[in-house]
Amino acid sequence: MSKIYIASDHRGVGLKLYLIEMLAAAGYNVVNLGVDDPNTSVDYPDIAATLADAMKNDEKSRGIIICGTGAGVMIAANRYKHIRASRCNTPNQARDDRFHDDINVLALAADDIDIEVAFLCTQTFLESPFDDCERRVRRVEKIS
């Protein structure tokens, strides 16, 4: 994995900054794509576009995207052909979504997840492999 791109809307700033600190301390190469001001409202589709643009020419990268519910950024990110985003609330879900669906973007709900659980989901997402057996590769190719 080359880089971890991370972005949030205004509702996800606190969680994003926490994750950046924890990931950097763990030795990951983290790129903060904004926003950093929780008091300036931004549109989550714009944040998803920024993340998708950053990941477009970096196949080995992963992304983390955060909004209040996690659903908006996930839906917006999945509009891009090279993105496979999933909203995960548990480490097991993050592991399974990597293993089965080769997700490359983790969507998190800042309003609904404990920050320590969010970090565990993030670690699991980053450390879990994709099961690249023929049937899973075929399925991922159909959505990418």
Single-letter amino acid code for the residue at 50 = T
User: Catalytic residue numbers?
Assistant: 67, 100
Consecutive H or E run containing 92: helix 91-101
Closest CA to 11 of 32, 29, 37: 37
DSSP assignment of 50-113 equals HHHHHHTT-TT-EEEEEESSSHHHHHHHTTSTT--EEE-SSHHHHHHHHHHH---EEEEETTTS
Q: Which residue is listed with tokens 């990110």?
A: 77
